[in-house]
Amino acid sequence: MILEPLTIPGRSEMLTQLMDYVAWAAAGAGLSEQVSYRLSLAVDEIATNIVLHGYEGAGRHGNLTIWADTDAQRLRIFLEDTGEHFDPRQVPRPADLDRPLEERKDGGLGIYLALWGVDEFRYERKGMVNRCVFVVERSQP
């Protein structure tokens, strides 16, 4: 089942609406609290990066559109933006993950944690649109 899309302005103060949508879709799909949290963290990280770097930091304006698709096995969240081409999968894994926290440089973990937190992550560029797809498996009763 495809859930109705939500389009919001790509501004930081609007991201709570996006996260409410993810929580609603996760609850509707019957995801566990842990899986819902990981999915929310992943979507929030990518959406925040889009707004901060793809729109606000680049002096651009645009929207974010999100929708969900569920079937018996999985929940898929689709997130689209019109910022510059950016494939989160191309960001290198942080090199200092094995070092103590106090020895690591600040930043750089968000995208890594976002991609790690879902069962599958896909990215595609269609014309002027970036599309990120977050996939989590639904637990079987």
Domain CATH for 82: 3.30.565.10
Mean of pLDDT values over 14-41: 96
How would residue 102 be classed by pLDDT, with cut points 50, 70 and 90? Answer: low
* Cα-Cα end-to-end distance for the chain: 19
Residue 17 placed within a domain: yes
**What is the number of domains present in the chain?**
1
Mean of pLDDT values over 73-80: 97
Residue 1 placed within a domain: no
The span from the CA of 47 to the CA of 42, in Å, is: 9
Residue 133 placed within a domain: yes
User: From the centroid of its chain, how far is CA 126?
Assistant: 17
Residue 116 placed within a domain: yes
Residue 38 placed within a domain: yes
Q: What is the pTM of this model?
A: 0.88
Residue 97 lies in domain: 6-137
Residue 95 placed within a domain: yes
On the question of pLDDT at 106 being above 90, the answer is no
